[in-house]
């Protein structure tokens, strides 16, 4: 017993033994600050419980003990006979211990006796990864979960890998915002409940509790850990959940959950949707798990009153165990009214925020805006059922401040010097743009056409097997770069993670290779073997590729199974020999065992050589020629087969597959969800696109190179500059606006015309637009005034139709039926109604619906959501990328143009 408790015990004994020499006082500590009191004395005889409490309080006052009542857990007040009876029956529960846990009450009480501790000595280390951000509100109805959903989307659009966890177990809702079905769904509650009942259990696996959200046009990844399936069993499991037990033993179950989540997904950011109020789970989410807390509250006295105690608890946690814990304020919903109304409200809340600043990051009056964001009420949000589809830009921009809080720790680049000068005529004469055609890469062009995109690290990561993306997002470029120019690929991509002696082999997709199954040969193979052998066929195909590639390098110690040797060797002679070899090996009754053992032997051989092989697969949309069902069956076998081969770590598999093709194939085999955490979706961010443009301009024009160098822009530092600084260099290329004044910003105008309806950006279309614009610029009359940029808006506008036509042509190569459908839309208007579409096609209803669905999936058009919701009929916006190539007119407020 510490000195303080001993003094309290002695004082109470002195009081009660004045009239009862046998009085008994015991004090038992619960944790560092709370304690229970037991008093047994004759003075309680014939007194009811209320009278006994009054006597107990008199004792405290008489002895001058100013105790905070919240520090007393239990006070048991008995007369001697009662105590003896209860003690003989073992019915007195008095002594128990409890460690200090990160709950609201314990944290505040800990601070009451430890407030002298300081937190201001915080190390300046690099930001931890992943960072955990908790969204919390004291009361409901402020849009906390909505804010998390929108911020998650914004972070994903920046190329982040984000996982959002529904910690609001009493009222879960995060999954529904992203249209994730909750039927037969495992989640956080299942994970915690099972491990509390059976501490050694490893079920359910963390992978089974994660759902991937398919977000079109984003280059990052979003995953959700839902609460679980909400049914009667859920309610019972929730009632059983003992939050204190989550911290027994150490490491705690929550530590285990976080570790499993990181192991499975390797996220950049973990977002937690915490429960409202002062319950234990919200305390854990705010006080223990979070690195940053976004505190959402209504800008009124009621909102501030509740948040006051939350801030006190967080500051107490900062003073004791979490000096790195940080928080920011979100005033939501902030009233939308005239400044005469809103300004006093804002000032009142800012004054309050100034008094509740984080202890580890205080600001002066002039910088208080760094501590809060305001989000106005938007009537579209309460009725929006899903955040899976793209959101209006004016809506997203309101939440960018919250997203900026998450990414605020990123280092800022050095300032760039202001306006340079450029010899415009000389730069135009030198300048050229090279369209990156993946199928015809020359080694000398790699420095110009290859851009290391922001998702490249995910691609080279050993955990990544599935590389998804729309046509034109760079899949084939990456495939051919690594297969045909491996050393250049390593140098240009600055890859240090890949082993020095890693070999890159085409598993499929290099048409010039003699060991390539031609598209029409797939039907021959299926006719001979049936449609259930595709998994084995792909494995044999891999063995043939691996052996011939490694054998050519002179590796005599790499042996083949006796039953495989003759067939594998003959496979390189001709297409007929390759097909026959595949079929003969797979037809063997022991084929499955022999094939797996051979792959295992190759893997072991590679490990002994301390070597590694990448098998890369491309051109999968051409498998089976024009037979789509055959293609889906064949690829289903390929993707299902990898799930069993994944443990062979010396052989890394990389599958490049089109988004719509993966969507169709993944329904054809079980356990497709096991690719979760092993895939990356290729897409181009705005920064990636601008780096490609500047790379080509700097490489092809010495005058442009000289001019932008004055602004600090060089090939060597392009990867380090953010969007804003890249735009500084781009202004020298195409100016600030399309015509000056209040016209559109040029970079935004360009972005809007190289994106499809799903938000995918196409670098090839960008370079084609600039190449055509440069050609037109050289034919335009010389400017009558001095210009400090090269390409005028007129040239860009003139270049647009040719670029759009080229993109429509490329779409036809991807989807052979679509050009015929689009020809029918020439001279129609965008937006186009569903009735007009059907009238122009003049085909059966089900065929029209199929075409509409296909055009939406291909990114040609998008349904106008507002009109659908307001029952005004269905109309579709045609992406500007395709509109002029189709020959469609644009309907504006004053008619068509």
Domain boundaries of the chain, sorted by first residue: 3-98, 132-407, 420-453+684-814, 454-681, 815-897
Task: Give the percent of the chain with pLDDT over 70.
Answer: 85
Q: Which fold has domain 132-407?
A: Rossmann fold (3.40.50)
The pLDDT score that the predictor gives to residue 166 is 96
Give pLDDT tens digits for 32-83. Answer: 556 778 899 999 998 887 788 888 888 877 766 655 455 666 678 889 988 8
Give pLDDT tens digits for 604-629. Answer: 999 988 889 999 999 998 899 889 89
**Range from 237-241, 348-352, 373-377, 411-415 carrying the lowest mean pLDDT:** 411-415
Tell which wins on pLDDT, 421 or 638: 638
The pLDDT score that the predictor gives to residue 892 is 41
Q: Is the pLDDT of residue 497 over 70?
A: no
Query: What average pLDDT does the segment 131-147 reach?
Result: 92
* Peptide bond before residue 206 is cis, with ω within 30 degrees of 0: no
Tokens of 49: 């419980």
> Using an 8 Å Cβ cutoff, are 335 and 345 in contact?
yes
The secondary structure element, H or E, covering residue 502 is strand 502-508
- For tokens 């579209």, name the residue: 380
Query: What average pLDDT does the segment 431-442 reach?
Result: 74
Query: The domain 815-897: what is its CATH number?
Result: 1.10.10
CA distance 102 to 883: 57
Q: Is the pLDDT of residue 242 over 70?
A: yes
The pLDDT score that the predictor gives to residue 813 is 82
The pLDDT score that the predictor gives to residue 188 is 94
**Range from 17-26, 176-185, 488-497, 648-657 carrying the lowest mean pLDDT:** 488-497
The pLDDT score that the predictor gives to residue 692 is 94
Tell which wins on pLDDT, 507 or 242: 507
Give pLDDT tens digits for 702-723. Answer: 999 999 888 788 888 888 887 6
Scored b (16 or more CB within 10 A) or e, 248-280 reads eeeebbbeebbebbeebbbbbbbbbbbbbbebb
The pLDDT score that the predictor gives to residue 123 is 37
Give pLDDT tens digits for 182-241. Answer: 787 899 999 998 888 777 777 788 999 999 998 876 668 999 999 999 888 888 888 888
Scored b (16 or more CB within 10 A) or e, 55-85 reads bbeebbeeeeeeeeeeebbebbbbbbeebee
Give pLDDT tens digits for 334-354. Answer: 988 886 778 778 878 888 988
Give first-to-last CA distance, the chain, whole Å.
Answer: 87
Tokens of 573: 């002679």
The pLDDT score that the predictor gives to residue 54 is 83
Tell which wins on pLDDT, 667 or 251: 667
The pLDDT score that the predictor gives to residue 111 is 53
CA distance 503 to 284: 47
Q: Assign 410 a pLDDT band (cuts: 50, 70, 90).
A: very low
Query: What average pLDDT does the segment 642-652 reach?
Result: 90
Question: How far are the Cα atoms of 428, 573, 776, 799 from residue 795, in angstroms, in the given order?
Answer: 13, 53, 5, 6
Give pLDDT tens digits for 754-811. Answer: 999 888 899 999 999 999 999 999 998 888 777 888 999 999 999 999 999 999 998 8
* Peptide bond before residue 249 is cis, with ω within 30 degrees of 0: yes
The pLDDT score that the predictor gives to residue 66 is 55
The pLDDT score that the predictor gives to residue 872 is 58
Instruction: State if pTM tops 0.85.
Output: no
The pLDDT score that the predictor gives to residue 712 is 80
CA distance 546 to 652: 12
Select the highest-mean-pLDDT range: 218-222, 362-366, 415-419, 860-864: 860-864
Select the highest-mean-pLDDT range: 239-253, 397-411, 519-533: 519-533
Q: Is the pLDDT of residue 357 over 70?
A: yes
Tokens of 449: 């056409």
The pLDDT score that the predictor gives to residue 294 is 96
**CATH number, domain 3-98, options 3.90.1170.50, 3.40.1280.10, 3.40.50.300, 3.30.300.90:** 3.30.300.90
The pLDDT score that the predictor gives to residue 52 is 84
The pLDDT score that the predictor gives to residue 890 is 74
Residue 563 makes CB contacts below 8 A (sequence gap 6+) with 585, 588, 590, 594
What average pLDDT is seen over the chain? 83
- For tokens 């003896």, name the residue: 84
Give pLDDT tens digits for 738-757. Answer: 765 444 678 878 988 999 98
Beta bridge partners of 681: 468
The pLDDT score that the predictor gives to residue 740 is 54
């Amino acid at each position: 017993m510490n000195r303080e408790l001993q003094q309290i015990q002695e004082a109470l004994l002195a009081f009660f033994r004045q009239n009862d020499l046998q009085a008994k006082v015991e004090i038992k500590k619960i944790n560092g600050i709370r304690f229970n009191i037991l008093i047994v004395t004759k003075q309680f005889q014939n007194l009811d419980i209320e009278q006994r409490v009054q006597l107990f309080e008199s004792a405290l006052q008489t002895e001058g003990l100013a105790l905070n009542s919240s520090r007393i857990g239990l006070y048991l007040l008995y007369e001697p006979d009662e105590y003896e009876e209860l003690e003989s029956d073992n019915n007195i529960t008095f002594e128990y211990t409890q460690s200090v846990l990160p709950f609201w009450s314990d944290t505040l009480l800990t601070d009451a006796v430890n407030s002298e501790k300081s937190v201001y000595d915080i190390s300046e280390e690099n930001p931890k990864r992943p960072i955990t951000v908790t969204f919390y509100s004291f009361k409901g109805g402020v849009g906390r979960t909505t804010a998390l959903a929108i911020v998650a989307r914004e972070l994903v659009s920046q190329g982040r890998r984000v996982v959002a966890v529904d910690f609001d177990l009493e009222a879960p809702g995060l999954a529904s915002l992203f249209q994730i079905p909750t039927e037969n769904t495992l989640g956080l509650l299942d994970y915690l409940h099972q491990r509390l009942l059976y501490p050694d259990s490893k079920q359910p696996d963390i992978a089974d509790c994660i759902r991937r959200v398919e977000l079109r046009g984003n280059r990052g990844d979003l995953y959700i850990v839902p609460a679980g399936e909400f049914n009667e069993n859920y309610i019972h499991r929730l009632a059983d959940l003992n939050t204190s037990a989550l911290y027994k033993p150490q490491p705690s179950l929550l530590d285990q959950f976080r570790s499993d989540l990181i192991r499975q997904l390797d996220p950049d950011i973990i977002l937690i949707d915490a429960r409202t109020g002062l319950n234990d789970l919200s305390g854990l989410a705010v006080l223990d798990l979070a690195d940053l807390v976004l505190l959402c509250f209504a800008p009124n006295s009621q909102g501030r009153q509740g948040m006051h105690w939350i801030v006190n608890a967080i500051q107490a946690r900062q003073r004791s165990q979490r000096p790195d814990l940080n928080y920011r304020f979100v005033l939501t919903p902030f009233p939308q009214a005239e400044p005469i109304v809103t300004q006093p409200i804002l000032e009142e809340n800012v004054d309050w925020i100034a008094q509740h600043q984080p202890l580890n990051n205080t600001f002066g009056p002039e910088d208080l805006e760094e501590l809060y964001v305001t989000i106005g009420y938007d009537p579209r949000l309460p009725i929006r059922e899903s955040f899976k589809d793209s959101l209006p830009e004016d809506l997203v921009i309101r939440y960018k401040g919250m997203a900026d809080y998450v990414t605020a720790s990123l280092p800022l680049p050095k300032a760039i010097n202001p306006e340079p000068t450029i010899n415009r005529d000389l730069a135009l004469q030198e300048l050229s743009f090279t369209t990156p055609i993946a199928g015809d890469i020359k080694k000398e062009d790699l420095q110009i056409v290859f851009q290391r995109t922001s998702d490249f690290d995910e691609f080279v990561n050993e955990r990544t097997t599935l590389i998804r993306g729309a046509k034109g997002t760079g899949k084939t470029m990456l495939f051919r770069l690594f297969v045909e120019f491996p050393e250049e690929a390593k140098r240009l991509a600055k890859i240090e993670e890949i082993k020095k002696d890693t070999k890159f082999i085409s598993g499929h997709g290099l048409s010039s290779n003699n060991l390539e199954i031609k598209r029409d040969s797939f039907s021959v193979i299926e006719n001979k073997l049936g449609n259930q052998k595709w998994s084995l066929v792909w494995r044999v195909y891999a063995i043939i590729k691996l052996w011939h590639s490694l054998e050519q390098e002179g590796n005599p110690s790499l042996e083949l199974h006796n039953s495989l040797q003759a067939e594998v060797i003959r496979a390189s002679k001709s297409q007929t020999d390759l097909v026959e070899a595949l079929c003969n090996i797979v037809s063997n009754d022991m084929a499955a065992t022999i094939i797996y053992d051979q792959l295992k032997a190759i893997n072991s051989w590679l490990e002994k050589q301390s070597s590694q092989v990448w098998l890369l697969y491309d051109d999968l949309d051409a498998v089976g020629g024009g037979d789509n069902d055959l293609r889906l069956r064949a690829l289903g076998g390929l993707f299902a087969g990898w799930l069993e081969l994944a443990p062979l770590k010396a052989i890394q598999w990389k599958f490049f597959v089109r988004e719509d093709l993966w969507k169709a194939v993944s329904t054809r085999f079980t356990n497709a969800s096991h690719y979760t955490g092993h895939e990356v979706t290729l897409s181009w961010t705005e920064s990636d696109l601008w780096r490609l443009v500047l790379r080509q301009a700097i490489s092809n024009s010495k005058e442009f190179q000289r001019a932008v160098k004055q602004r600090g822009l060089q090939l060597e530092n392009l990867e380090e500059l953010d969007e804003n600084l890249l735009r500084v260099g781009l202004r020298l290329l195409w100016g600030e606006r399309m015509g000056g004044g209040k016209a559109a910003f040029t970079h935004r105008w360009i972005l809007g015309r190289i994106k499809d309806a799903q938000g995918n950006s196409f670098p090839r279309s960008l370079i084609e637009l600039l190449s055509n614009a440069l050609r037109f610029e050289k034919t335009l009359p010389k400017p009558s005034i001095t210009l400090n940029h090269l390409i005028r808006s007129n040239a860009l506008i003139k270049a647009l139709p040719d670029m759009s036509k080229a993109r429509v042509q490329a779409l036809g190569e991807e989807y052979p039926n679509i050009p015929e459908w689009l020809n029918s839309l020439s001279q129609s208007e965008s937006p186009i109604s569903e009735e007009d579409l059907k009238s122009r096609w003049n085909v059966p209803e089900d065929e029209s619906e199929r075409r509409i669905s296909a055009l939406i999936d291909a990114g040609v058009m998008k349904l106008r959501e507002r009109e659908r919701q307001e029952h005004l009929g269905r109309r579709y916006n045609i992406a500007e990328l395709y509109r002029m190539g189709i020959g469609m007119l644009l309907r504006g407020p004053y008619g068509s143009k």
